[in-house]
Amino acid sequence: MPVMDLELDRGTLLRSAAILGSSGLLRAELGTRIYHTLGRTGEKVSVLGLGGFHIGQPKLTEQDSIRIIRTALDRGLNFLDNSWDYNGGQSEIRVGKALRDGYRQKAFVMTKIDGANQAGSRQAN
């Protein structure tokens, strides 16, 4: 499957993600996955990511959450966005469970913490 590597600034990346998502161009069925180099890390992350807020919602079973995450990873989406604040930590717990059995190597996980600075972050924990 061909991979396109794009160097984009944040604004272009967000606009591209909106266009790609609405047009379906990231779909694995079309045979193209679009990635972005994340800053100076050299890491390649998918232009579209999977947000974690909904993953820990009580109306979604843990099994369904794991299936959603693994399906996204299997189809080439590798950027997962999460926070311990989502659903009392359940979103991060479910992401952790979904990344078992070799799935961790497929994922780039970004998680957020409370606080606007180092002191605020320490107080939140």
Summarised one tens digit per residue, pLDDT across range 48-72 is 889 999 999 999 899 999 999 999 9
Summarised one tens digit per residue, pLDDT across range 82-119 is 998 899 999 999 999 999 999 999 999 998 877 666 77
Q: In this prediction, what percent of the chain has a pLDDT beyond 90?
A: 43
Query: What is the distance in angstroms between the CA of the first residue and the CA of the last residue of the chain?
Result: 43
Q: Is 35 a catalytic residue?
A: no
**Starting at the edge strand that comes first in sequence, how are the strands of the sheet with 3-6 ordered?**
3-6, 33-37, 44-46
Catalytic residue among 35, 79, 84, 86: 86
Summarised one tens digit per residue, pLDDT across range 2-38 is 444 444 455 555 555 555 554 454 444 445 668 888 8
